[in-house]
Every structure is written in C-alpha cells, then in structure tokens.
Amino acid sequence: MNYLITAGPTREFIDDIRFISNLSSGRMGYALAQAARDAGHSVVLVSGPVALDPPERVRLVNVVSAVEMREAVLKTFPESDIILMCAAVADYRPERRHTGKLKKGPDTLTLKLVKNPDIAAETGARKQSRFLVGFALEAENAEANARSKMAAKNFDIIVLNTPAAMAAESSEVQVLFPDGSGRRIGPAAKQEIAAELIRIIDEIRPNRSRQD
C-alpha cells in the first residue's frame, strides 16, 4: 500500500527572518513513516521544518509553509492509498510578507492574518476510496471536538491527543472510530504509539482498490 504522511509544523513568514509557527517537533509523523515502512508499505513523508533525520527508504518532501504543504499533498495524493494528516499546519498566515527585516516601530504592531488552506478538509472531500486518518490536538471538550472534526472533514478515523504531546518524546492518544467506539494507546514512546496505529489501520482499512 502507498502511504502519504504529513509531519511537523509549518512556518508562516512575517518578513524574511521572522515567522509564525508552533511547537510541533514532527516526531509522531516521522515515527509513523518508519512504522509504515517497517510494515512493508511504500511511504511518502511531506514534512515541515524539523530537526529530525528521515527514516531510510522513505521518500521525503520538504516544505515550509501551509501553501507549500498543500501543493505537495495534492501532487502525491493521486497515488496514495492511505493518508495520515499528522502535521500541525498553521491555521493562519500574515496577509503580507514584508521584504527584508521589518523595522522596530511603535509600541504595538498589528498583523493582519488570513486563513490558510484546510488541507485535511480538501483531502477529505477528494478521498474517494482512500483511507484518511486525521489528528486532533484538543484541550477542552476533547472527544466531542475530535468527533466533530472527523465528521466534518470526512476522516475514516481520528487520533486525539493533548497539548502535552507537542515536542514530547512520549505521548498518549485515543483512536476514535465513526461508530462511537475508541481505543486508547499509551502512555508510551511515540515510536510504540506509531507502530500500534499502523497495525490498527492495516487491520481496518477497506480492502478495495482506488477508484479515481
């Protein structure tokens, strides 16, 4: 099977040296890529900027911004069977990227932000027979919000975690299914969680070919 996995943060530039981002380390996405490879699958890893070495025998596509990640995902999407949207994509970006370095001025600075493309929702709308796995990081009403996201974005399953997972080497997640059930994994190292997630996906994915 052909896996497409997104990982890491995106950077949305204010000027040529400063940007908006988040604390994602990319560890879970990279662990998932290695686990899928170890399970015998072909893997494309679309990664934002991280300080990690990619797993061997995984095709790495480096991107920086959400717009670049969208382009890379849509380019690889047609040949993918299973898609894991693990990246922490910035919801907004500055409307304008200033050239050079924005000089210090008044005591306050107002940045106008515009929405980034919703890569997961766009992928869900196009998925057809592909198997789509979403990830949700929630702090309040976690399960209810994650289930709403799963339905709205047409995910087959969703993996729920908390802000404590950001940049951490271990984690605990819940895998939520459309029938209302769920399965908890961890606390454990992210490599162990990734291996179990790939096992779950391989067990339940639809046994049918893509119809594009």
- Convert the pLDDT of each residue in 54-96 to its tens digit: 999 999 999 999 999 999 999 999 999 999 999 999 999 999 9
- How far, CA to CA in Å, does 53 sit from each of 30, 85, 151? 9, 19, 34
Supply the residues annotated as catalytic.
Answer: 22
- Whole-number Å distance between alpha carbons of 32 and 22: 20
Q: Looking at residue 208, what is its pLDDT?
A: 43
Which residues of the chain fall below pLDDT 70? 167, 206-212
Nearest 5°: the CA angle 168, 173, 174 is: 165
pLDDT of residue 15: 95
Q: Are 79 and 51 in contact (CB under 8 A)?
A: no
pLDDT value of position 167: 67
CATH superfamily to which 2-204 belongs: CoaB-like (3.40.50.10300)
